[in-house]
Structure 1
Amino acid sequence: MDAPTEISAATPAGTPASATPDLADPRFWQLPAPARAAAFAELRRLPVPAYFGDRATGRGFHALVRHADVVEASRTPAVFLSGPGVTTPEPARWVRMLFGDSMVNLDDPRHAQLRRIVSRAFTPRLLGRVEEDVRRITTALVDEVERGRPEDFVGAVAAELPFQVICTMMGIPAESRRAILDLVNRTSEDIGVARPLRRRFRVPGRGLAALARMQGIVAGIGRERRRRPAEDLISALVTADVDGRRLTGRELGAFFTLLLVAGVETTRNALAHGLHLLTVHPEQRALLLADLDGRLDGAVDEIVRHASPIIQFRRTVAVDHELGGPGGPLLRAGEKVALYYGSANRDEAVFPDPDAFDITRSPNPHLGYGGGGPHYCLGAHLARQEMTALLRELFTRLPDARSVGAPELVPSSFDHRVRSLRFTF
């Protein structure tokens, strides 16, 4: 980050953001998308990261909104820690003890150890079967669209594809899948900054109870696979032996939950945004349909950049750190930073005409799967596979498939969630 000469290493970052909407205020995330984009553009022009919240109590954070800053925080894990928690609020200690730690909330060496176990389980043979499963499930879903003519693209296609792929890859029996999907929906139904009034008075433990039941189902399958391994990811995870370690039942449950949240939610939202973007930008749609094989990869990357399914993750500063190098803004040990991927993906210093949707954009170094480093998304390749297969199948067989009206969004400071999207063909 280029800092003006008057900012020295002794000058803490944290320009008060009095002239812009407050990113810590839930009302900001209910503003129209153009207003939020304009606010982030203003924040990117500030000489130092803006600080939101109460500095005196430490209940605030520095907003990292530039591409270079998000990449630096992602690739410097010794300075920017994930262990205290990357979401807001941070997971309570008793919740982490009961349900296990998600990999996103771990630092090395434990994070590296678990990631090695998971990576070892993704054998070439397993990956080959996953590719076949993606094609088969995609074909079946478009078959069903043709037969049933559903109205909601999210429920019928965008959510169903990654869910079925992950369940098949993990080896979840067909008879358990609907129950798991219902539990997933319960765990995430209250995420968002504008919950309906009826949900604000529900028992707080409802989501945790659903999570416990879901992890119980998966742990039971894991115990069965230890006795009788099959050719699926659960078997590979519970029988893999990396440096004398394999996943415990609690670790397996935490990993499955992460797969469902990171793998299902993000891909479903990217697909829904993608169909709408290709509808409201007919010139880009025409480019894609004229050369599906040549343009699909670029279209997928541009959809992920433009939609940015994950809005932010947080890190905790381990030691005093000058952002961008000597002379840069000073971040103090113990302070929090928020990595705003959507803002980084619109950084004018990296992306010419950043608000434009352009499937020919090249290069496209978007941060839709993270900014690199040890927490770069394990499922990035799978997500690209799913999106590419679905868009190819859909537009080959139903080239006039398009959204009807605007997507119904869930106001959230965490993910760019689409509740529903009407479509037709």
Structure 2
Amino acid sequence: MRADAATLPDLTDLAFWAAPESARLAAFAHLRSLDRPVFFAEPRVPLLRPGGGFHALVRHADVLEASRLTAVFSSEPAAVSPEPPPWLPMVFGRPLVNMDDPRHARLRRIVSRAFAPRRLEALDVEIAEIVDEIVTRLERRGSGDFVADAARELPIHVICSMLGIPRERRGFVLSRIDVMTEYSGVRGEMHRLATARLLLGNLRAIVDLRRFVVGLGRQRRRDPGDDILSALVTADVDGERLSLRELGSFFDLLLVAGNETVRNAASHGLVLLSEHPGERERLAADPDALMGTAIEEIVRMCSPIVQFRRTLTRDHELRGHPLPAGSKVVLFYGSANRDEAVFDAPDTFDVGRRPNPHVGFGGPGAHLCLGAHLARRELGALFRAVLARLPHLRTAGPAVPLLSSFDHGIVALPYTV
């Protein structure tokens, strides 16, 4: 089917992302039915956004192709959306997610030790203790906001525990993350001033966290402990080690990506289990057999991160459609995860779904999420405890969604036990 401009959604318009989820899913289903990726123009915002536009990759096969062919679909100058201003990496350095090989491979080789199986297994006790505190709090309060009381708390305490950040400093870290994730959506020309204010707040939060982690990094180099931060700053892989600037960039990525993925999936997971009591009962009856597939299905259904972008290094043909060198594409993971060509009954929540080749942790290849296994551990521990100790925990009203085209988050979610 050919594109008809009158029937196409505008993926760069904030109004689209404010629409009900059912309307957005229907729009992406229409885009998947077209015979070629659709181009969307992006307005230029002086000093903040370069402008231009992108082709939307909405089919599962297209997202896989762009993810695997990293020599063609580059993560530089930026993989995040909206694309940050060109001066930002000159000030703060380029994060791992916005790098290509060989720089990307070098840094990933160093920081991947933070997610080695031995270290993740050692975290299980800590995760269990944090989950126990959260579930006890939910039980004691009886009702409240699930995001504030549970989903927001779990990942930040796990990440801070990994890094050896003391509890008395975690409130500061979380407040800075909340500010950073506000600037995570497409905003149009009418929102230029609001965008500028949000970006300035974002920059201040980055500076605050950078100062904090660089100070910790210097301390750990002088007096290393048994935490991952110490391992990173003292790492020597083939004669290489992280600079303090690189450590700061990785810290930003870990805190934002590692936090938001789990927070979003945990919040949407409670919504899904509340809206599908039959699937919840099925999972509760046999969590040992179904918890793994249930977590994958929650991630597929909610797609915690909506999109990443790539820039073409050379001319390429996708589905017979030419994409010139220098053009940009955006990979829409939520759309790929509902692709009718890959998933039977894609809008159905099935805790036992097999196979489930979702791209909720990003597509396959060099940029597959480093923290995916950690996220699975956290979500599995949380929902096991909820099902066992709070069998009547449910949402008590509609979720308040985060208005963003990048972060599929929930701002508030009332619950009752």
TM category, shorter: over 0.9
Structure 1 residue 405, shift from structure 2 partner = 1.3
Match of 2:156 in 1: 163
Match of 1:388 in 2: 380
Alignment counterpart, residue 217 of structure 1, candidates 212, 219, 222: 212
Residue 257 of structure 1 pairs with residue 252 of structure 2: yes
Q: Deviations over 1:254-294 (max 9, x none)?
A: 11111111111111111101101110111111111111211
Alignment counterpart, residue 242 of structure 2, candidates 244, 247, 271: 247
Residue 234 of structure 1 pairs with residue 229 of structure 2: yes
Residue 338 of structure 2 aligns to a residue whose secondary structure is coil
- TM superposition outliers: structure 1 runs of 4+ over 6 Å: 194-198
Q: Which amino acid aligns with 1:45?
A: S
1:192 and 1:410 in contact (8 A); partners too: no
Alignment counterpart, residue 361 of structure 1, candidates 353, 360, 385: 353
Change (3 A) 1:54 1:274: closer
Aligned residues: 409
Alignment counterpart, residue 378 of structure 1, candidates 370, 377, 399: 370
Change (3 A) 1:397 1:211: same
Structure 1 residue 82, shift from structure 2 partner = 0.2
Q: Which amino acid aligns with 1:405?
A: G
Q: Which amino acid aligns with 1:93?
A: P
1:17 and 1:51 in contact (8 A); partners too: no
> What is the alpha-carbon distance in structure 1 between the residues aligned to residue 201 and residue 116 of structure 2?
37
Change (3 A) 1:28 1:401: same
Alignment of 1:179-328 (within 5 A): 179-192=172-185, 202=197, 204-324=199-319, 328=320
Q: Which amino acid aligns with 2:385?
A: E
Which moved further from structure 2: 84-93 or 339-348?
84-93
Change (3 A) 1:382 1:138: same
2:184 and 2:407 in contact (8 A); partners too: no
1:190 and 1:199 in contact (8 A); partners too: no
Match of 1:145 in 2: 138
Residue 49 of structure 1 pairs with residue 37 of structure 2: yes
Change (3 A) 1:17 1:133: farther
Which blocks of at least 5 consecutive residues in structure 2 are unaligned? 44-49
> What is the alpha-carbon distance in structure 1 between the residues aligned to residue 219 and residue 103 of structure 2?
26
Q: CA RMSD in A?
A: 2.2
Change (3 A) 1:53 1:166: same
Alignment of 1:83-102 (within 5 A): 83-102=76-95
Residue 19 of structure 1 pairs with residue 12 of structure 2: no
> What is the alpha-carbon distance in structure 2 between the residues aligned to residue 244 and residue 373 of structure 1?
25
> What is the alpha-carbon distance in structure 2 between the residues aligned to residue 359 and residue 105 of structure 1?
34
Residue 151 of structure 1 aligns to a residue whose secondary structure is strand
Structure 1 residue 200, shift from structure 2 partner = 5.9
2:81 and 2:186 in contact (8 A); partners too: no
Q: Deviations over 1:377-420 (max 9, x none)?
A: 00000000000000001110111111111110012111211001
Match of 2:64 in 1: 71
2:82 and 2:184 in contact (8 A); partners too: no
1:40 and 1:65 in contact (8 A); partners too: yes
Which moved further from structure 2: 221-230 or 182-191?
182-191
Match of 2:26 in 1: 38
> What is the alpha-carbon distance in structure 1 between the residues aligned to residue 380 and residue 127 of structure 2?
10
Change (3 A) 1:229 1:150: farther
> What is the alpha-carbon distance in structure 2 between the residues aligned to residue 167 and residue 312 of structure 1?
26
Q: Which amino acid aligns with 1:38?
A: A
1:66 and 1:343 in contact (8 A); partners too: yes
Q: Which amino acid aligns with 1:232?
A: D
Match of 1:400 in 2: 392
Which moved further from structure 2: 127-136 or 198-207?
198-207
TM-score, normalised to structure 2, is: 0.93
Match of 2:106 in 1: 113
1:86 and 1:313 in contact (8 A); partners too: yes
Match of 2:119 in 1: 126
Residue 322 of structure 1 aligns to a residue whose secondary structure is strand
